[in-house]
Chains A and B, each alone.
Chain A
Amino acid sequence: MTELLIKNGFVFDPINGINGEKMDIAIKNGKIVEKIHEHHGKTIDATGLTIMPGGVDIHTHVAGGEVNMGRIVRPEDHVKDVVAKTPLTRSGVGYSIPSTFVTGYRYSQMGYTTVMNPSMAPLEAKHTHEELNDIPLLDKATYPLIGDWWFVLEYLRKGDLEGCARHVAWMLETTKGYAIKIVNPGGLESWGFGRNVHSIDDEVPNFCITPREIIVGLAKVNKMLNLPHTIHLHTNNLGIPGNYATTLETMKALESVPSDGKPVGHITHLQFSSFGGDGWGNMCSAAEEISKYINAHSHMTFDMGQIIFTDTTTMTADGPFEYTLYQLSGHKWVNSDVETETSGGIIPFHYKKNNAVNATQWSIGLELALMITDPWKMFMTTDHPNGGPFFAYPKIVAWLISNKARMATLKKCHKKAQKKSLLTSINRELSLYELAIVTRAGQAKALGLKNKGHLGVGADADIAIYNINPETIDIARKYKTVRRAFGKAAYTIKDGKIVVKDGEVVQHADGRTMWVDVETTEKLQVDEEMKLKFRQYWTVEFDNYPVLDHYVKVKDPITVKASI
């Protein structure tokens, strides 16, 4: 393995408290080391450049059944963004749902090295892993949807948390998953009967259980299993005006979960869960209420789900929400019934500046990111592709670091949204240090990835180098320079290999697929009763269900010891 020395860059490594110091970084065998002999390996002269750990994306739909269905229904989305092959890279298409290879290239070009695919129906686990295998240059993992999984609902109804924990441990191993994903708990099961739940205390049909019990139960299970990430939660009533009350209720419910100082839950794409008002006519921002609560509590983490003004594709396991969106937009709609496990829906959607609701949504995302004072709690995502494609991240970077950039966009928004927007009263501008937290360090920490998101000795040599000189430019004023720099990284280094130089892919590398291997004292015994259930209610035979090891191209299991 080659050695690599990055000399003289301005290093931003929030986990190790390094804020823009001029340092050298030494790499050996794909890991960061104390030092190497300078003449042994290659040297990158990073004078005047910004060095950060490789980007980490906690929530981005890049693989799986839904994503592929989105690709199928949107040929008109691909035709406007065709990527030709080069001697090194494969051809593909964008735009809002890029093909697997293009996904890898584009993330890497922005300096990202780790992405998390947040929604995998267990039934589609094999498909998801096949797609993840095909995404180059990135480490990745995926979260199985467990919140409406019949077995889990039954365990929780009986109050058998230990049994539930053992079952979840088995599920994570069987689907090669990384964390517990919960989408509109109870709502997806209800959607099987054309219904939904409208508060966290509504009863789920046939199961005599409420969303509150599912969320709290699984959060406790998560603790028992010592999983690296917390539960990953898409709240009830997502995307409905006035839903901030549900979000607050959910956060309060999770206060009851014993926390040893660590977070117990992650609410994803918070923007979609922070609507005020009671109808689309008077829909407004509830960022103030939400951020006030979050600033006073520390048991949860969040990500933005920022929207971008563009034509994109929404896809979520939240089938009932997609139906609402279909009624609003009249656009083509896919509803997918994933048997006993979850649901799914897809609607193309165009976010427009001159639409009051869309413009308010744009404002809510940024308000939340700026009003939540602790950057370790709130991370940058677009919930790709729901809020917009991930390669629009540089735009969000510009909005976060520069009031000027925000005002330039706000000026073009719908007048009603402009008037209501809180952005005019917020002067906060993120520094590069804070930006490194919201785009990598914070996300890696929330995910419990010990070797990612920092540049300390022993960390994976996943590094992004951007063409920004913090000594000479005022990032808030020159936000366009920063936007360009974050769009095309000067260098992206993956496991010690230079994979991107000046925004172009220069080397191919396969990323690893991570999953958690939970060691419980007593393993779940797959009994005849369970197999019988599969035979009765699933279309897939039990024996064809598990994702076996050979399905994963580059394996990186993370072993954790459960407390049960």
Chain B
Amino acid sequence: MIVLTPLKKFQFPIYAECITPEFFEGKTIAELAELSVYEGNKQKKLGDIFKIEQDPAETPNITINGDVSEVRRIGIRMKKGEIVINGNAGMHLGEKMSGGKITVNGDAGGWTGSDMKGGLIEIHGNGSDYLASPYRGSSTGMRGGLIVVDGSVGADSAINMHGGVIKIKGGAGQFLGFGMDDGTIYVKAQTGTRAGACMKGGKIILAGTIEEVLPTFTIDSIKPKVKVDENETATGPFYVFLGDRAEKGTGKIFVAKANNPQLNTYEKFL
């Protein structure tokens, strides 16, 4: 196991694409210290930014102790292994990852799990905006894997999602699952408006509250429970909305009946 500790409080964003288990594998401490990172627009070495130590424990492959909320692209393209961050993580954490596990014992920055294809990201604090959303303009977002957030996430999360599962134990901001095509999003607390706008497929399960469902969704039925993934089932009852009809979509939004009495006017359409 490699242990990284920030040497200072970072003033500029650090781009550290090298912090992945694959990149670290088989390298000595001295070699790791030579890896290239960017601090602002200056090229630096990993050893200039972090104290690098070897720990005899086998897992996780990389542990980061301290606040790295200015360090971006940790775990980019990782395929295997495990990273544990004891502190806040920066933007683009686990971008394009296709396997392995990242645990954040703190908050994570924007675009966490962007373009993710597989693997697991666990955030024990809050997520931020653009969780699991792809680069701007891209029509394919998260395609697989699992993201679990203990806290809340910001706006525009899971845009254009094409697969995988996101579980949020707190709340979510506006435009959750915009344009999603497939996959599952499960939110336990309050969700902002316009959830599922332009969605074409997939399901959004809202166990908490939501002010309103977009008018381009139609109510389909009331279901007592809904499956989130192999290990978890959410119990309702839930209103099931179909849409986004403006996009001829067949996505489903499940909204908890008990927490959203303002939606019971829809029942007359059943």
Q: Is A561 an interface residue (CB 8 A)?
A: no
Cβ of A216 to closest chain B Cβ, rounded Å: 42
Q: Is B56 an interface residue (CB 8 A)?
A: no
Q: Interface segment, A21-29, A70-78, A406-414, A534-542? A: A70-78
Q: Which B residues are in CB contact (< 8 Å) with A73?
A: 137
Q: Which A residues are in CB contact (< 8 Å) with B138?
A: 76
Alpha-carbon distance A76/B140, docked complex (angstroms) = 10
Asked if A74 contacts B139 (CB within 8 A), the reply is no
In chain B, positions 74-109 with a C-beta closer than 8 Å to chain A are none
Q: Is A420 an interface residue (CB 8 A)?
A: no
What residue of chain A has the Cβ atom nearest to residue B200's Cβ?
A330
Cβ of A360 to closest chain B Cβ, rounded Å: 24
Asked if B137 contacts A331 (CB within 8 A), the reply is no
In chain B, positions 112-151 with a C-beta closer than 8 Å to chain A are 134-139
Asked if A75 contacts B135 (CB within 8 A), the reply is yes
Q: Which B residues are in CB contact (< 8 Å) with A76?
A: 134-139
Q: Is A419 an interface residue (CB 8 A)?
A: no
Asked if B135 contacts A79 (CB within 8 A), the reply is yes
Cβ of B110 to closest chain A Cβ, rounded Å: 15
Alpha-carbon distance A77/B136, docked complex (angstroms) = 10
What residue of chain A has the Cβ atom nearest to residue B115's Cβ?
A76
Alpha-carbon distance A73/B136, docked complex (angstroms) = 9
Alpha-carbon distance A332/B139, docked complex (angstroms) = 8
Cβ of B43 to closest chain A Cβ, rounded Å: 12
Cβ of A479 to closest chain B Cβ, rounded Å: 32
Question: Interface digits, B135-175 against A, CB 8 Å rule (1 contact, 0 not)?
Answer: 11111000000000000000000000000000000000000
Q: Interface size (A, Cβ < 8 Å)?
A: 9
Question: Interface digits, B248-259 against A, CB 8 Å rule (1 contact, 0 not)?
Answer: 000000000000
Q: Which B residues are in CB contact (< 8 Å) with A75?
A: 135-137
What residue of chain A has the Cβ atom nearest to residue B140's Cβ?
A76
In chain A, positions 71-98 with a C-beta closer than 8 Å to chain B are 73-77, 79
Cβ of A45 to closest chain B Cβ, rounded Å: 38
What residue of chain B has the Cβ atom nearest to residue A77's Cβ?
B137
Alpha-carbon distance A361/B134, docked complex (angstroms) = 30
Alpha-carbon distance A293/B185, docked complex (angstroms) = 58
In chain B, positions 19-56 with a C-beta closer than 8 Å to chain A are none
Cβ of B216 to closest chain A Cβ, rounded Å: 17
Q: Which B residues are in CB contact (< 8 Å) with A79?
A: 135
Alpha-carbon distance A165/B138, docked complex (angstroms) = 46
Cβ of B141 to closest chain A Cβ, rounded Å: 11
Cβ of B192 to closest chain A Cβ, rounded Å: 24
Q: Which A residues are in CB contact (< 8 Å) with B139?
A: 76, 331-332, 348
Q: Which B residues are in CB contact (< 8 Å) with A348?
A: 139
Alpha-carbon distance A348/B137, docked complex (angstroms) = 11
Cβ of B179 to closest chain A Cβ, rounded Å: 10
What residue of chain B has the Cβ atom nearest to residue A332's Cβ?
B139
Alpha-carbon distance A73/B137, docked complex (angstroms) = 7
Cβ of B222 to closest chain A Cβ, rounded Å: 31
Q: Which A residues are in CB contact (< 8 Å) with B137?
A: 73-77, 332
Alpha-carbon distance A75/B139, docked complex (angstroms) = 11
What residue of chain A has the Cβ atom nearest to residue B138's Cβ?
A76
Alpha-carbon distance A348/B135, docked complex (angstroms) = 15
Question: Interface digits, A40-82 against B, CB 8 Å rule (1 contact, 0 not)?
Answer: 0000000000000000000000000000000001111101000
Cβ of B4 to closest chain A Cβ, rounded Å: 27
Alpha-carbon distance A75/B135, docked complex (angstroms) = 8
Question: Interface digits, A318-344 against B, CB 8 Å rule (1 contact, 0 not)?
Answer: 000000000000011000000000000
Cβ of A441 to closest chain B Cβ, rounded Å: 40
Alpha-carbon distance A57/B135, docked complex (angstroms) = 33
Q: Which B residues are in CB contact (< 8 Å) with A74?
A: 137
What residue of chain A has the Cβ atom nearest to residue B136's Cβ?
A75
Cβ of B246 to closest chain A Cβ, rounded Å: 13
Cβ of A484 to closest chain B Cβ, rounded Å: 28
Alpha-carbon distance A79/B73, docked complex (angstroms) = 15
Alpha-carbon distance A331/B135, docked complex (angstroms) = 16
Alpha-carbon distance A79/B111, docked complex (angstroms) = 15
Q: Which A residues are in CB contact (< 8 Å) with B135?
A: 75-76, 79
Alpha-carbon distance A77/B139, docked complex (angstroms) = 11
Q: Which B residues are in CB contact (< 8 Å) with A331?
A: 139
Cβ of B140 to closest chain A Cβ, rounded Å: 9
Q: Which A residues are in CB contact (< 8 Å) with B136?
A: 75-76
Cβ of A71 to closest chain B Cβ, rounded Å: 11
Alpha-carbon distance A331/B136, docked complex (angstroms) = 14
What residue of chain B has the Cβ atom nearest to residue A74's Cβ?
B137
Alpha-carbon distance A364/B136, docked complex (angstroms) = 35
Alpha-carbon distance A332/B136, docked complex (angstroms) = 13
Alpha-carbon distance A332/B179, docked complex (angstroms) = 12
Alpha-carbon distance A332/B137, docked complex (angstroms) = 9
Cβ of A518 to closest chain B Cβ, rounded Å: 43
Alpha-carbon distance A74/B139, docked complex (angstroms) = 10
Alpha-carbon distance A223/B130, docked complex (angstroms) = 58
Alpha-carbon distance A73/B135, docked complex (angstroms) = 12
Cβ of A339 to closest chain B Cβ, rounded Å: 27
Of the candidates A76, A331, A348, the one having the most CB atoms from chain B within 10 angstroms of its own CB is A76
What residue of chain A has the Cβ atom nearest to residue B247's Cβ?
A330
Of the candidates B136, B137, B138, the one having the most CB atoms from chain A within 10 angstroms of its own CB is B137
Cβ of A76 to closest chain B Cβ, rounded Å: 4
Alpha-carbon distance A331/B137, docked complex (angstroms) = 11
Cβ of B136 to closest chain A Cβ, rounded Å: 5
What residue of chain B has the Cβ atom nearest to residue A331's Cβ?
B139
Question: Interface digits, A202-234 against B, CB 8 Å rule (1 contact, 0 not)?
Answer: 000000000000000000000000000000000
Alpha-carbon distance A73/B139, docked complex (angstroms) = 11
Cβ of A496 to closest chain B Cβ, rounded Å: 37
A–B pairs, 17, beta carbons within 8 Å? A73-B137, A74-B137, A75-B135, A75-B136, A75-B137, A76-B134, A76-B135, A76-B136, A76-B137, A76-B138, A76-B139, A77-B137, A79-B135, A331-B139, A332-B137, A332-B139, A348-B139
Apart from A73-B137, A76-B137, A76-B139: 4 A-B pairs, beta carbons within 8 A: A74-B137, A75-B136, A75-B137, A79-B135
The list of the 6 closest CB pairs from A to B, nearest first, reads: A76-B138, A75-B137, A76-B137, A75-B136, A76-B135, A79-B135
